[in-house]
Structure 1
């Protein structure tokens, strides 16, 4: 065959496609029958054509994709057994979420010197313990992440105060090349935010760090996103965020490739393979789960990413997500910034409104969508030690 099979067919416009569909509907209303409105304000169409939207330039990601076993540190001996089992099942990266100091001897038994990457997400800001832990792991491949704003959003208080927390985080980030500032967007997803809100709040969250520390911390930023069950929306969410993050960094006259750690939302663990694939296609660097999943090889990863760049549907949703999230981000900045809106309860109210809307949709359509639970306790009255 001298030319691709598609060359044997005359090109058709979106108007021609729509006309053909309306004819086939035999009098039924096109909009009511085939268009679906989502909570994000996105209209799902029966087909997508390049003549109806312009693609946006999504920064490319590298092929260095990892899967890791996620463990919340609670009982060291039990957690150690989980980690050892994961290593024996060929898992090469371990993620530990730290909510309190722990016994390093018990947790790391039979874990060190095995060419394992250790990733610690800290919800505490105890400098002595963190420094001692880094010393224990100095011969290992490790990195630590801290998110004082995410802690505020999720728990309603600073660790100490705004001023002390920002200074402590700055000192930590400067003290070790393996210490990173985290933007935990999972907080908003798990609280009930829709995809557009998640992107916008992650950007505004990020901008607070950039405003305080300046462009020098761009390479020190890392991001956490929870991945839900809507395969194409989750791909589009990550791609839209990467695009907008690039735009924001341009305003600071700097560049950086975002490190994105995606994790399966706990309510969607039964769709683990789907969330795993959508995180890869969306451009994640790491996929975390409390369940174990095998790494895909580089060729599979590249094949999956091609899906996104050749899909008009994904491209269209990505563009709409980016436009809507950017508008929300601009509104937040005009209103004084993300921390101000957290303090006033605006962010919490918006998330709750969306969660209630999703719940109502679930009830009226009799469909189970895996409704998220509101977990953000912060109210204007509960904000303590703010300065």
Structure 2
């Protein structure tokens, strides 16, 4: 029996014919003004995409593989952190992301009895100590664990305003670690850019420029790099963003004869999360995790619905973990190779975001590179300008957060539920550069509502 393609008996309709029909249905209204809208990145989004307008598909950027469900744990009490890691792994987590507070933490006790098979352990280090990393590396090797150390002096500079020590000493330490047989340790913490209000194009370009500094300054960078990204609410753009990051990173890496693919950890953004009507945060994080998975993230660490105002708690952790378990085991999000393949809209977005980000990256490099532009304040200014535009859209109601600036519940009371301060903290101190400040869109409105609760 001969094979016959589905719907082959139907005549092919070209994009030109579709557009003519749409124009007819508009009854004289202008096609571009009515149906084409422009994103903050300057990308014109059309109402439909057709294969006869699409020349080069981006094939199999990342093959299907089970994305890792990550549980984040801030290590303060070692014994409690160890118990929480074991409990999380028993309840569905597949990776554990430890943030280690200081170099006095006993990592032998922290990793005691933790399973070694199939689990990846991330160690986020907000300090830089060659001795501590050496000891931690030995413990990891002895226990036969799969691990990645997350060390990012440039990320420290962007978020804190200062290096761990200074530029020279920090990169001397990285070069020393790179010369040893150490677990993969170079991290690019790009969450700050998104959470501070950078556009998608800026985020991709800054990740590329951030990585290029490490390629240039570490003499023998013979290990995969980890990239941490925050995923926003623009569903298709965020899918394309992660695809474009991987595409451009691999293009850049080839220039340095670096043969490792990047390892992407994605987490939902805090920028659109809200204090009031907080259950809506679960809807936001679900679609953001979906974007991360379909975009090809290697690991996803969900954000608890109450993370901005509650301390870590078992209920919030369980709900956020279960969201990923449903996506993985009931929705089968990890079963298809390059799920965006053939989706002409996403393919086009990927190409356009990559092209615009590459142009911005080239501009950064032509003007001294990423660190130079941080010191000059150019990067901070550009992000601030983008953040202000987005804030204006939110304040005017054009960018909607349901339950906050649209259909708010006036009877909602939050003042007595705050365990954490949910707003930007002012900490006047001397810094080398102006740090990139993360800020949620709803902060000003929420502060006004909190003040009114006591009236």
TM-score, normalised to structure 2, is 0.76
- Match among 373, 378, 383 for residue 432 of structure 2: 383
Q: Is the 8 A contact 2:70 2:300 kept in 1?
A: yes
Partner of 2:40: 39
1:103 aligned residue: 105
Aligned residue for 1:66? Answer: 68
Matched, 1:29 2:15: no
Task: Look up the SS of the partner of 2:221 in the other structure.
Answer: helix
1:184 aligned onto 2:184: no
Deviates more, 1:273-282 or 1:333-342: 273-282
Match of 1:152 in 2: 157
Shift of 1:262: 1.2
Task: State the alpha-carbon separation in 1 of the partners of residues 214 and 38 from structure 2.
Answer: 34
Against the structure 1 CA distance between its residues 147 and 160, is the aligned structure 2 distance closer, same or farther, given a 3 Å change threshold?
Answer: same
Q: Check if 1:313 corresponds to 2:345.
A: yes
CA–CA separation in structure 2 for the residues paired with 1:218 and 1:298: 38
Contact persistence 1:68–1:92 (CA under 8 A): yes
Q: Evaluate the alpha carbon distance shift between residue 72 and residue 86 of structure 1 in structure 2; reply closer, same or farther with a 3 A threshold.
A: same
Q: Which residue of 1 aligns with 2:242?
A: 238
Which stretch shifts more, 43-52 or 203-212?
43-52
Q: How many angstroms does 1:277 deviate by?
A: 2.4
SS at match of 1:280: helix
Cross-structure match for 2:224: 220
Q: Which residue of 1 aligns with 2:167?
A: 162
Contact 1:191 1:373 in 2 (8 A): no
Question: Superposed, which structure 2 residues align to 1:11-26 within 5 Å?
Answer: 11-26=12-27
Residue 64 (structure 1) shift:
4.7
After TM superposition, give the deviation of residue 350 of structure 1 in Å.
Answer: 0.4
Q: Compute the displacement of 1:302 (Å).
A: 5.2
Alignment deviations for residues 22-47 of structure 1 (CA, whole Å, 9 cap, x no partner) = 11011222222211111111111110
- The 3-state SS of whatever aligns with 2:352 is helix
Please list the CA deviations of residues 171-211 of structure 1 after superposition, one character each: whole Å capped at 9, or x if unmatched. 22333341321111112111111111100000000001111
| Equivalent position SS for 2:348 | helix
Aligned equivalent of 1:263, options 267, 272, 290 = 267
- Alpha-carbon separation, structure 2, partners of 1:219 and 1:374: 36
Structure with the higher fraction of residues in helix conformation: 1
Quote the offset at 1:378 in angstroms: 12
Q: Which runs of 5+ in 1 are unaligned?
A: none
Q: 1:174, 1:285 → 2: CA distance?
A: 26
Q: What is the rounded CA distance, in whole Å, between the counterparts of 2:351 and 2:5 in structure 1?
A: 29
1:112 corresponds, among 111, 114, 138, to 114
Deviations 1:89-143 (A, max 9, x none): 0323100123423532796276435644321111110223333333333314122
Match of 2:292 among 263, 279, 282: 279
Q: Which of 88, 91, 94 in structure 2 is aligned with 1:92?
A: 94
Task: Indicate yes or no: 2:256 matched with 1:252.
Answer: yes
Kept in 1, the 8 Å contact 2:101–2:126? The answer is yes
> How do residues 288-299 of structure 1 correspond to structure 2 at under 5 angstroms?
288-290=301-303, 291-292=320-321, 293-294=324-325, 296=328
The RMSD of aligned alpha carbons is 3.1
Q: Which moved more, 1:241-250 or 1:155-164?
A: 241-250
- 1:226-257 Cα shifts (integer Å, max 9, x gaps): 11122211110011111111221232244322
Aligned positions of 1:297-336 closer than 5 A = 300-301=332-333, 303-336=335-368
Counterpart secondary structure, 1:119: strand
Name which structure has the greater RCO, CA cutoff 8 Å, separation 6+. Answer: 1
Q: 1:218 to 1:49 in 2, by over 3 A?
A: farther
In structure 2, what is the equivalent of residue 209 of structure 1?
Answer: 214
Tell me which residue corresponds to 1:348.
380
SS at 1:51's partner residue? Answer: helix
Match of 2:41, SS state, is coil
In the alignment, the residues of structure 2 paired with residue 28 and residue 71 of structure 1 have an alpha-carbon distance, to the nearest angstrom, of: 55
Cα distance in 1 for residues equivalent to 2:138 and 2:384: 42
Secondary structure at 2:96's aligned position in 1? strand
TM-score (norm 1): 0.88
